[in-house]
Amino acid sequence: MSLWSRIGNVLRGDRLNREIDDELESHIAEAITQGRDPVEARKAFGSALRHREGSRDVRLVASLESLRADAIFGWRQLVKTKITSAAAILSLALAIGACTSAFRLIDALLLRPLPVANPERLYDLSRQGIGPEGKPQTFDGWAYPDFQLMRAAVKEQAELFAVSYAEPVDLTYKSDGEIEKAYLQYVSGWMFPTLGLRPALGRLFTENDDLKPGGHPYAVLSHDYWAHRFGQDSNVIGRTFRMGNEIYEISGVVEAPFTGTEPGTMVDIFVPTMMNPAVTRKDSTWHRSLAVVKPGAVLEPIAQKLEATSRAFEEERAKGFLGISKEEIDNFLNQKVLLEPAGPGVSELQSETRRPLAVLGVLVGLVLLIACANVANLMTAQASARVREMAVRVSIGGGRWRLIQLVLVQSAWLALLAAAVGGLFAWWSGPFVISMINPPDNPARLVLPTDWRVFGFGLAVALGVTLLFGLAPALRASSVNPVSALKGGNDPHSKRRLMHALIAVQVAFCFLVLFVAGLFVTTFQRLSHQPTGFSTDRLLVLDTVAKDPQPPEFWEQVAEHLRGVQGVETVAMADSPLLGGNGWNNFISVNGAPPSGVLSYMRAVSPGWLEAMKIPLKDGRDFRPADAHPGAALVDETFVKVYFDGVDPVGKTFDLSMDEGLRLRYEIVGLVGDVRYRNLREPILPQLYVPFHSVDDKGVARKKGGGVLLVRTSGLNPRALAAVLRQEVPRARPEFRVSRIRTQLEINQSHTVRERLLATLALFFAIVALLLAGVGLYGVLHYSVLQRRREIGIRIAVGAQSGGIARLVTTDVFAMVLVGAVAGVGLGMLSVRYVEALFYQVKATDLQMLALPSLAILAGAFLAALRPVMQAVRIEPVSMLRAE
């Protein structure tokens, strides 16, 4: 029989006993058959029980058997106190679940290595220096010619490859009528072999697929896209799609689960970098440069070589810079090249959410500790109720270790049950949180696998938690002194001291969670109520594209057609939506002076745009259909402050300084109110508006390939009109398509996604923390009233007032609450430094920020204390003393 059969015998204990007894019995029977006297035979045989124990121990694993007995006993203890156990398990489950869920998210986004051959040797190249606005900045975008030089320079130590910032594009598979969106990434042809990726179908790119600009119209699909768009159809190889003016042929499908190098974006289609129109441009930084260093290569010399190469490239380019100060050029050239580990990929979502997720991780950890303290207190209370049982166990020879095991096994029961419930919670809440990060029209797609990493984490948390809340009560139980315990003279205060200390810890953590949550909620509120200067009311934004660039009168025809659609109030056009994230800018010169150092931000808008956006016209007039760019301009109040010292500028002129010394003259026709340009956090920028219709230097109208149509609807829900408008645009002119429809409100809200996520989750954790701490406080008070009911009974009997009794019961605990709250304030002040960057217009030292959590905790403590105090006051001395 092997170890397995011995382990198996643990579970068949009763049968094993019977078998051994049978055999021993048959021995005696045999002896009697052989003619021996029954009494003598039994006497000679000795104690059957002892022999059975002897045989039993060799036939099963004794330590396992004791574990099994403890597990059963522990389970019975849990069942005996159903409600307390359920409360403990649920609170722990909530905390463990939140922890696992947070880990799942953090792991998927920030920690998990990319599914490639060499993630540990993968680095992202970025430049660190002083930006154009004079602030330190790090940027990882590169121009392709620069990249080519760098790649050649470090060929011996590392392989560089380029990947563009993945973005949604419009493409068509069959008729041009059916535009669809797909995430596309331009990648170096040699990326697939460099990362050790293999095709699931067809062939992937090689170096030879990425040689000539515009010469390689081939595409590789991701496995995920192949599955959900084509149902894994193997005939997909050789199919074509149209993007812009180019027809691409599908050459292969890359093996799962690789979906690009940007966690948060799953790339659908890879095309060679040579197909990007900017591939020959020295001034367009449109791609990341990733490096796989050779095994054993040292990073520092590689970075230096890259820096020297890139600097030489930019120095050459800077010779052509005009109208830019020496200091700015120096800042531009003096940039340090950094190689940063990119094993888990690189994406904007990562850098945007790294700190918020870390903060949430800490909050969730604190909630877990609060829950642990609760369970530890519960276990301590239970252990003290069982002190006599422990004493009996010690006196009849139970080893200390067995007692520790007994209590720990019970903790493990709690933790495992909680982990199971918590696992379910995490499984549900992970995707839920992802859906909260998502802007409605541009979902972050994140692979959220549930594998050994997540499972292992959950198990580790459960184990850690068992030790955390189980060890102290276990050690305490095992050190019981049987004589004094059985006499009932054990010191009851020592247990209460431990419980009180835990209360202080709980309150401190709870305060911290509440405090940070308050700051996040206020930040979200301030930011989302930030005045933007325009109205989002009933406003739809239609991203519109034309098959080929179309003349302005056709654009105007489309707008005019939409004005006739039922339910449309006004229609205007612009090059991009407000707060859309993109922008362009130029230096301005007034009265022929050299350009000032302040950039002015620009937007091209049609007549009627001001009215559609409800931006006030302060002076002058709106654009007229006859106005064109360059020529007429609208400016905002900040622009006037910066360039015209606040003097009314209508009728005055300024020059836009372009490349190569070219200047374009504009006459200011109107003054308009300030609006937010790119995002909600930055200060109001000086802005100028030019007409949507532009003409070239000969006065001929320029054709436009894309723009946005802004539609204010008369119905309250602008979305209701979306489908109709999508159809009406091509009906107005067949060359035009709507590629995307958003409401302006959605665009505005996309700027507060991170803040909303932080505020919502922090608030949730704050409520959970307060609830758990309240339950903990209640438990401890309840226990101490139970323990001291004899004393209280006597005090009442000798005439103590209710107020005195309430004070007696609550003084210690409330002192602990106070200690905890003070510690919490300290912790909050210390920790707030690390999260300050996430706040907006709120200070940690605001009295209100400190007062709110204090009040919440006080109110919670008061509620928790109410019932135990009532119990204490209502103790009937007579019945109490009689019972003793």
Partner 1 sequence: MAKADSLQGSMDLLVLKILSRRPGLHGYAIMSAIQDISGEVLRVEEGSLYPALHRMEEDGWIRAEWIRKETGRRARLYELTAAGKRQLGAEESRWQAVTLAVNRVLREA
* Binding region for partner 1 (CB under 8 A): 1-2, 6, 20, 22-24, 26-27, 29-31, 33-34, 44-48, 50-51, 54-55, 58-59
**CB nearer to partner 1: pick between 6 and 641:** 6
Name the minimum Å distance from CB 61 to partner 1.
11
Distance between CA 821 and CA 829 in Å, rounded?
A: 12
Return d(Cα 787, Cα 379) in angstroms, integer. 15
Which tokens is 104 given?
């799942």
44 versus 211: smaller Cβ distance to partner 1: 44
* Residue 14 or 696 having the CB closest to partner 1: 14
CB contact at 8 A, 437 and 353: yes
Q: How far is the CB of 69 from partner 1 (least distance, A)?
A: 21
- How many angstroms separate the CA atoms of 579 and 750, rounded? 9
Which is it for strands 617-620 and 599-605: parallel, antiparallel or unpaired?
unpaired
Three-state DSSP class for 289? Answer: strand
For partner 1, the closer CB: 29 or 211:
29
Rounded CA-CA distance 285/278 in Å is 9
- Taking the complex as a whole, the smallest distance from the CB of residue 56 to partner 1 amounts, in Å, to 8
CB of 65 to partner 1, least distance (A): 15
Helix, strand, coil: what percent of the chain each, to 5? 55, 20, 25
Nearest approach in angstroms of CB 71 to partner 1 is 24
The token duo for 439 is: 């802007």
Report the nearest approach of partner 1 to the CB of residue 32 (Å).
10
Torsion, Cα 100 101 104 108, to 10 degrees, reads -160
Could you tell me the two tokens for 593? 């002076």
Residue that the structure tokens 């009794």 belong to: 805
Q: How far is the CB of 397 from partner 1 (least distance, A)?
A: 21
Q: CA–CA distance from 502 to each of 7, 88, 373, 661 (Å)?
A: 40, 15, 6, 72
Triad 297, 302, 306: Cα angle to 5°: 155
Nearest approach, Cβ of residue 388 and partner 1 (Å): 36
Query: Looking at beta carbons only, is 10 or 849 nearer to partner 1?
Result: 10
β pairing state of 653-657 and 584-589 = antiparallel
Q: CB atoms < 10 A from the CB of 682, how many? A: 10
Least distance (Å) between residue 49 CB and partner 1:
10
Considering the complex, what minimum distance in angstroms separates the CB of residue 34 from partner 1? 7
For partner 1, which is the closer residue by CB, 3 or 647? 3
Nearer to partner 1, 28 or 278 (CB): 28
CB of 63 vs partner 1, minimal distance in Å? 16
CA distance 98 to 422: 7
CB 64 to partner 1: min, Å = 14
Q: How far is the CB of 15 from partner 1 (least distance, A)?
A: 13
802: left (phi over 0), alpha (psi -120 to 50) or beta: alpha
Minimum CB distance to partner 1, residue 13 (Å): 15
Q: Phi and psi of 199, rounded to 5°?
A: -75, 145
Nearer to partner 1, 22 or 178 (CB): 22
- Give the residue with the Cβ less far from partner 1, 55 or 787: 55
Nearer to partner 1, 1 or 870 (CB): 1
Measured from the CB atom, is 58 or 716 closer to partner 1?
58
Q: Which is nearer to partner 1, 20 or 364 (CB)?
A: 20
What is the DSSP pairing of strand 687-691 with strand 632-636?
Answer: antiparallel
Q: Are 252 and 220 in contact (CB under 8 A)?
A: yes
| Cis peptide bond N-terminal to 718, omega within 30 | no
Assess contact for 337 and 303: CB atoms under 8 A. Answer: yes
Give me 533's structure tokens.
């200067």
- Shortest CB 36 distance to partner 1, Å: 10
Residue 777 has φ and ψ, to the nearest 5°, of -65, -45
Q: Would you call the peptide bond into 257 cis, given omega within 30 degrees of 0 as the criterion?
A: yes
| Residue 44 vs 626, nearer CB to partner 1 | 44
Q: Which residues of 706-737 are buried (b: 16+ CB within 10 A; e: fewer)?
A: bbbbbbbbeeeebeebbeebeebbeebeebbb
Q: Which is nearer to partner 1, 9 or 405 (CB)?
A: 9
Residue whose token pair is 């696998």: 449
Cα separation, 49 vs 858, in Å, equals 62
Could you list the beta-strand ranges (E) of 115-187: 122-130, 136-139, 158-164, 167-171, 180-187
Q: Which is nearer to partner 1, 20 or 770 (CB)?
A: 20
User: Which one, 45 or 428, has the nearer CB to partner 1?
Assistant: 45
Tokens, residue 616: 């006030």
Q: Strand runs (DSSP E) across 59-207, as ranges?
A: 122-130, 136-139, 158-164, 167-171, 180-187, 199-202
CB of 444 to partner 1, least distance (A): 59
Say if CB 462 and CB 419 are below 8 A apart.
yes
